[in-house]
Amino acid sequence: MAVLAPVPAVRGTRPRAALTRPGSSPRSGRSSATDRELFDRLQRDGDRRARDELAVRFLPLARRLARRYAQREEPFDDVLQVACLGLVQAIDRFDPARGVAFSSFAVPTILGEVRRHFRDRTWAVRVPRDLQELTLRVSREVEALSIELNRRPTVPELAHHVGTGEEQVLEALRAGEAYRATSLDTPCCRGEDTTVGQLLGDDDIGFDRAEDRATLGPLLGTLSERERRVLRMRFQEDLTQARIGTAIGVSQMQVSRILRQAVGRLRLAAEAPPADQRVP
């Protein structure tokens, strides 16, 4: 595929795009005849030169459509290359025999390719297609109104100019934050070593332990001193039943019986209703 490079403008002369305006309406009869001749050569003979010449003639159309989606987050050159790809696809698919102007056929093809690029290649988090398009419209209005008002526009002002509700504008603004992902290693403040990842919250198991201690505290009061000691040695110090038996002077079988009775008494105490709720 030929590389579609922009035609530089020479000082003191008009750019070639301003002279020919391919794809604009109305076109001169001579230019339209030239387009038909090039398409005939391309489809009849497979002339690659005719294909390249058509691409150059309609390049300003692709550039003009790409500028609709120009934004700071996405380089214009990347958007232009995608628009040029859509232009080449339109040239290959166009059928002059249908009697439709090429620009009428090419514009939806080019815009579809550009929108597909933004939908599939540029978002860090996938959001619905209609929300993506609304986010792009809101982003363009924010830049235009900021210049016009010399301040950032409010949500009601954006909703009025975009022609949608305030809730939809807020949703689009929140979705715009998902356009680019921020690395967890990014410094949170200039000149500091603290990163974004270090400021993220984590699961704190201390709350669960505090709740367990608050529940077990009153229940342990229902056990004898020896039962509490055996439970502490088994579940806190992680000693075997044989070592526990040696420490308290009983057999391993007796240790097992003490543990079973103590756990059963704790379970009954936990399932019993509180004293203030018991039926007299």
- Helix (H), strand (E), coil (C) string for 44-84: HHCCHHHHHHHHHHCHHHHHHHHHCCCECCECHHHHHHHHH
The tokens for 232 are: 């502490």
Q: Has residue 10 got a pLDDT over 60?
A: no
Tens of pLDDT, residue by residue over 15-34, are: 333 333 444 444 555 567 78
Same domain, 33 and 116: yes
Structural domain for 104, as ranges? 1-6+14-122
Residue 41 is assigned to a structural domain of this protein: yes
Asked whether residue 280 is domain-assigned, the answer is: no
Q: Encode pLDDT of 269-278 as tens digits.
A: 888 766 555 5
CA distance 4 to 89: 13
In terms of Cα–Cα distance, which of 255, 190, 266 is closest to 223?
266
Q: Do 114 and 18 lie in a common domain?
A: yes
Same domain, 95 and 27: yes
- With bands split at pLDDT 50, 70 and 90, how would you rate the model's confidence at 71? low
Q: Please give the torsion angle defined by the CA atoms of residues 100, 103, 105 and 108, in that order, rounded to the nearest 10 degrees.
A: -150
Say how many domains are in the chain. Answer: 3
Does the residue 191 lie in any domain?
Answer: no
